[in-house]
Amino acid sequence: MSAMAFADPAFESQAAFRAILRAIASPGAIEPCGRGLKPPSPLSPAAAAAILTLADFETPLWIAPSLAEWGEAAAYLKFHTGAPLAASPRDAAFALLDLERDSLDLKSFAQGAPDYPDRSTTVVAETRSLARRPMMRISGPGVRGMAEIEFGPTPGDFLSQWEANRSTFPLGVDLILAHGAEVAVLPRSVRVTGGE
């Protein structure tokens, strides 16, 4: 396998985790994640780093059709995490999709249960762009006042899907947005509204 996983797993996964931690604690913040990682295409370093850092044999991983086609990418994630492949989005602890080529259906993933809302899917989405711009506004826990985010391509119904996701709090999914070697996170607790 020519692609490289973490050369020093303890330190690189710690660094990637802290980036994701900062990003989920401050929704809208864009954090460097997976720099130096060379996953097989079409995986971004950030998405690969997130999954290598968080997934293992205890966490079924669902890979969207557009990425599953790339046998090497799926094999790389499976080999380096030991995560079993989830039969459906609803069975997944982690899901990986590409916003450009896969449809996004937040309701198709595990939402958690009222007494165990943590039993939900964390969705890792590859994006083509990610920036702090006022296309969308974020408010809620972790955000001082209002934060801004722009990512693309944004599904046409994203704001209504997200509002539906938020309205079932504490149930719902958390969304990790990956672009190159950067991540941003939208936890289920935040409100996302249209900006400019």
Binding region for another protein (CB under 8 A): 7-11, 13-15, 17-18, 20-22, 24-26, 53-56, 58-59, 93, 114-118, 120, 122, 140-144, 169-170, 174, 187-189
**Nearer Cβ to another protein (20/106):** 20
| Alpha-carbon distances, residue 50 vs 17, 28, 81 (angstroms) | 7, 17, 11
**Residue 115 beta carbon to another protein: minimum distance, rounded to whole angstroms:** 4
List beta partners, residue 185. 176
**Nearer Cβ to another protein (63/173):** 173
**Residue 127 beta carbon to another protein: minimum distance, rounded to whole angstroms:** 19
Give me the amino acid identity at 85.
Answer: L
**Nearer Cβ to another protein (129/168):** 168
112 C-beta neighbours (distance < 10 Å), count: 18
Phi and psi at 169, nearest 5°, equal: -50, 140
**Residue 66 beta carbon to another protein: minimum distance, rounded to whole angstroms:** 25
**Residue 100 beta carbon to another protein: minimum distance, rounded to whole angstroms:** 25
Element (H, E) at 5: none
**Nearer Cβ to another protein (126/174):** 174
What is the per-residue DSSP string for 96-142? EEETTTS---GGGS-EEETTEEEEEPEEEEE-SEEEEEEEEEEESTT
